[in-house]
Structure 1
């Protein structure tokens, strides 16, 4: 998350973080457990992030056919795990995740 904050076009004055861990940055910040339920700012950011990710997954569905990214958006459901088992991981798969690492050559 520190990398993402560092890439913002406008640097933030303050960070509200959904969770319990702070970010190793020299910025004032507040963590809020279950922040999306307690803060409209965090809830809004969560929606923006999900919509953005879903759009990216639609693009990945075109670049990596056969995995079904348009349907499951990259979540580890049965059809996604079956596609990984059949096709092997593609470049966007996180090689350390359960369901992927079992199909990565040592």
Structure 2
């Protein structure tokens, strides 16, 4: 899973920021992106697309990736902005924020010289490449996928699920499960629901 990163490094790029997002299709909560710079040639065993891992495995890998990463940054965009500018632009904005928030282990800001993204393009004057199904083809993007997923899931469980009880966000993570849709019909939308996503529900 390092072929893509190695090809980019062969062209002289050193700091490759790999990016992925989570929460794009949710009815509630922010869309979250992670940008990560990993050491050259490092492969963490078990890393693959976050959707194919159990929550316990993701949590374990989160710690391993955190310990191994050279730099890490998160970006998120809330439901009101998603409703205003649409989910595609919000995803790009979250990814841009993640890159701008990249910091090394000492807390110093890091600017990558190349960006590798899962099937997107972001508005930054940095060389970049979008990879279709990048989380299955790039180790770095798969790492970013896991970090973004755990980061967002924790917010669902520790913040949104508690603040807006009744929607079971701590369980459904904001996705449109049957229980979640029924709760929206019964309670109406909360402040973190994406109104543009609820047109067939309310």
Q: Which has the higher contact order (CA 8 A, sep 6+)?
A: 2
Alpha-carbon offset, residue 7 of structure 1? 4.1
CA separation of 1:92 and 1:63: change in aligned 2, threshold 3 A: same
For structure 1, the residue ranges without an aligned partner over 5 or more in a row are none
- SS of aligned partner of 2:176: coil
Q: TM-score, normalised by structure 1?
A: 0.85
- SS of aligned partner of 2:196: coil
Q: Deviations over 1:17-67 (max 9, x none)?
A: 101x31121111111000001000000100000001100111101100100
Larger strand share, 1 or 2 = 2
- The question of 1:27 aligning with 2:120 is answered no
1:63 counterpart residue number: 163
Aligned alpha-carbon RMSD (Å): 1.5
For structure 2, the residue ranges without an aligned partner over 5 or more in a row are 1-91, 103-108
1:75-94 alignment runs, 5 A limit: 75-94=175-194
Structure 2 Cα separation of the partners of residues 12 and 94 of structure 1: 32
The 4+ residue runs of structure 1 with deviation greater than 2 A are 9-13
Q: TM-score, normalised by structure 2?
A: 0.46
Alpha-carbon offset, residue 6 of structure 1? 5.8
